[in-house]
Amino acid sequence: MKVIVIGCGRLGSDLAGRLSKCNHEVVVLDTLKDAFKNLPPDFHGRTVVGDAMDQDVLHRAGIENADAVAVVTTSDSLNAVVGKIARSFYKVKNVVVRNYDPRNRALLEVFDLQMVSSSVWGAQRLEEMIYHSELTTVFSAGNGEVEVYEVAVSEEWSGRKLGEMLLPGSVPVSLTRAGKAFIPTADTTLTHGDIVHLAATLEGIQAVRKCLTVSSKGEEAA
């Protein structure tokens, strides 16, 4: 796969290094030549110095034949414009842009671009780890608006219905019992040691955690 990474800061250089290790054809573009010092020693792609708004620079990077473009500079406005150009003008199928400042997310949303907000996602993950130390996140979608959580069924929940655990903002994905997985329903009876995977929003998993915590304390009968 041919990938262009625009912006060679910490995020861009790490991304380029990962793609390079997977033997993709990677081109890294940045306005500063010194930025390429951030690349790992084993990076084996190309580097291009120049302004991503310059058509000639994009041509040198090979945008006409790119399968994917990642625009990860620290300028949200630049990321939005270059991402839009890559997708609309050069018809690049897979364009992903970085949202650097959470206050500018609306700008990228206007351009209808696939984006990653590292600060928002990171803050939410930290919040979840503080709130939900007993729950494990195994998959995150978008910028963390919906995630899949792994819940180990405790003795207190053995014999109860899964539906008692399912609250607004959460849906079951799978249940693993004795090494075999299946898709459960709200009427599935839980057994101690079951592993339940739930897809949930932050609000949904907060409600689930509260439910689990109350049950573990034996307060559900109050």
26-42 residue pLDDT tens: 999 999 999 999 999 99
More confident of the two residues 213 and 169: 169
Q: Of the given ranges (66-75, 89-98, 116-125), which has the lowest mean pLDDT?
A: 116-125
pLDDT of residue 81: 95
Is residue 61 within 8 A of residue 29, CB to CB? The reply is: yes
CA 20-17-8 angle, 5° bins: 120
Q: What is the pLDDT of residue 221?
A: 42
CA atoms 114, 118, 124, 130: torsion sign: positive
pLDDT digit string (tens) for 136-193? 788 888 767 898 988 888 888 999 999 998 989 999 999 999 889 999 999 999 999 8
Q: Give residue limits of the domains in the chain.
A: 2-116, 121-216
For the chain, give the mean pLDDT.
88
pLDDT at 126 over 80: no
- 118 pLDDT exceeds 80? no
The mean per-residue pLDDT over the stretch 117-146 comes to 70
pLDDT at 111 (0 to 100): 82
What are 70's two structure tokens?
């990642």
3-state helix, strand, coil in the chain (%, to 5): 40, 25, 35
Most confident of 87-91, 109-113, 133-137: 87-91
Q: What pLDDT is stored for residue 222 in this prediction?
A: 41
Distances 84 to 14, 154, 191 between C-alpha atoms, Å: 23, 49, 51
Q: What are the tens digits of pLDDT across the range 72-90?
A: 999 999 999 999 999 999 9
In the chain, pLDDT over 90 holds for what percent of residues?
62
Reply yes or no on whether the pLDDT at 219 is more than 50.
no
**pTM for the model:** 0.64
How many other CB atoms are there within 10 angstroms of residue 102's CB atom? 14
The CA distance from 156 to 138, in Å, is 24
Q: Has residue 133 got a pLDDT over 70?
A: no
Residues 106-114 have a mean pLDDT of 80
For 54-95, give the DSSP string.
Answer: -HHHHHHHTGGG-SEEEE--S-HHHHHHHHHIIIIIS--SEE
Query: How many Cβ atoms sit within 10 Å of the Cβ of residue 73?
Result: 22
In sequence order, the 6+-apart residues with CB closer than 8 A to the CB of 100 are 73, 74, 75, 76, 79, 119
* E strand segments, the chain: 2-6, 25-30, 46-49, 68-71, 94-98, 114-116, 136-141, 146-152, 170-177, 180-182, 195-200
CATH number of 121-216: 3.30.70.1450
Q: Give the CATH number of domain 2-116; options: 2.70.50.60, 3.40.50.10420, 3.40.50.720, 3.30.420.10.
A: 3.40.50.720
